[in-house]
Structure 1
Amino acid sequence: MSFQDLSSDIRASAPDLRGRLLANQDLSGLTWFRVGGPAQILFTPADDEDLAYLLSKLPEEIPVTVIGLGSNLIVRDGGIPGVVVRLGGKAFGEIKLETGDRLRAGTAVPDVKVARAAADASLEGLAFYRGIPGSIGGALRMNAGAHGGETTDVLVEARGVTRKGEIVTLSHAQMGFTYRNSAASTRDIIFTSALFQGRPGDQTLIQAEMDRVTQAREAAQPIKERTGGSTFKNPEGGKAWKLIDAAGCRGLRVGGAQVSEMHCNFLINTGGATAADVEGLGEEVRRRVKENSGFELQWEIKRLGVAA
């Protein structure tokens, strides 16, 4: 499937744009599942101001979607209409230490790099990011957490750009964090950087904690497969993987997609899966769990775009 090419119209309305603008760009290679269709327009801004400039000039009827590392994401086979923003490069990929045991990171920075930078600076509190396969942008929107820590525990503030092109800073309170979500995820803000609060610690002990997280993840999760991380949120009073296992879904397949034998809350692309296979498998798992236990699992993985 291909979309109408909007690139000429966009450049005409935003002639001073400095970032890269590509029409009908395949997104499957940017997702960890390796599935999905194209972006009508894929935009990689040069910096915050470039992103703000585009958004201020873009007609309101053109939808805007932001993607990060593609780890916790299904792009549907028909692709994503409108403008897809993917942050990258030095402007969104830097980590800086600040006074008061604080660390600032661009939202394109992988979570694991933030954990490593904090460890190198002997800062406790951010080692849990070693176990999260994503970027800081996704962590902000989803209140990402693992191994006893969550983004809400360490965030001071987040900087971003609104759909109207305004550069804003949101405090921790304004983020409205809840379990694997934030109130900010419902607002038209593209986050560009975040400020985290650490605390002084022993570098050797911090590194040992990161090693423990790494070993636990490698032992329990299919991290070498084409997967999107944890598929469903843990419902109140239950563990998603246990409910999935009890419903007989371990190893269940739809086309080229399969429920992991290693960890039931992971879906994997065994080779040749479509986005429809992966999402369809997830919906079948939800149906069986509901039928077996009464629990209605909620997706943790984000699903974007239109069907083929």
Structure 2
Amino acid sequence: MKFNPPWESFRSCWNQKADDLKKCESAEETDEEGSSLLQFIATISGCISVMGVGTMLGWSSPSIPFLMSKESKIPITIEEGAWITSLGSLGNIIGSLMVVFLIDRIGRKYTVLLHAPIQIISLIIIIFSNSFTSLCCGRAVAGIASGGCLNAMAMYVGEIAEKKIRGMLSTFIVIFSDSGIFFVALIGAYFSYNTMNLVLLSIPMLHLFTFMLMPESPYFYLIQGRDNAAEKSLMRLRGLKNPKTHSQCSDPTGDRHTSHVDKKRRRPEFFGLPHLIRRLRKTPLHTFLFPSTHFE
């Protein structure tokens, strides 16, 4: 029986790793030139709803002083004004909890879209309110839309964006949210209370009609086991026409050298020893430590 020294297996593993790296490097040189334009468009379209969230966060600043004035049809006290303001935060908690049950069932895109009608309903309730109770209901519904939209949109942007622009696109969420706060303060300063609410009503409607045309997150399709749909969504987001481009050395996030997703598990492991070993195996040193361990 022939005896193979241990270093022979180490050498073969090293050579295999080197061949894989060369293959990925050559693939990078011959990759089809894609485009990040749709990723920017999808992020901006989705962040229109985040701007609506900002308007709901800043709504109390111009509205409460008017509602406490003699010109208001619904005169409120200081205590009632505090309740109207704080109920939005309570709705945020409820909306964030709702996302947990929706995000993996109907998808990231439709979870974000779902909150546009909720924003519209909240504004309609506020516009036609004739009592303190109805105003509280409208603010609570607006809070539900705000909490759910922010969480779902953050996940959507993180999953559709390439690694090189993911950080940039993530900042759009904060930019649009702050823009919404500024916008409602500006409108409230120069227009009447009713006109302000009507103008705010146009923001979720614009988001609803534009975001419907955007693609779903490829990760959601992979979780559902719909590989063909994930591939089409990824190619559309990357601006690629050849489905084989980037197929050997990239994943839906744009990270190199992670060619496939675990078809049995489908969900990425962010904690645990298997994930740690997979990350460590990317360096040549750990090829020697784990020459025959396969978790993919």
TM-score, normalised to structure 2's length? 0.25
Tell me: higher relative CO, structure 1 or 2? Use CA pairs within 8 A at least 6 residues apart.
2
Greater share of residues in helix: 2
Greater share of residues in strand: 1
TM-score, normalised to structure 1's length? 0.24
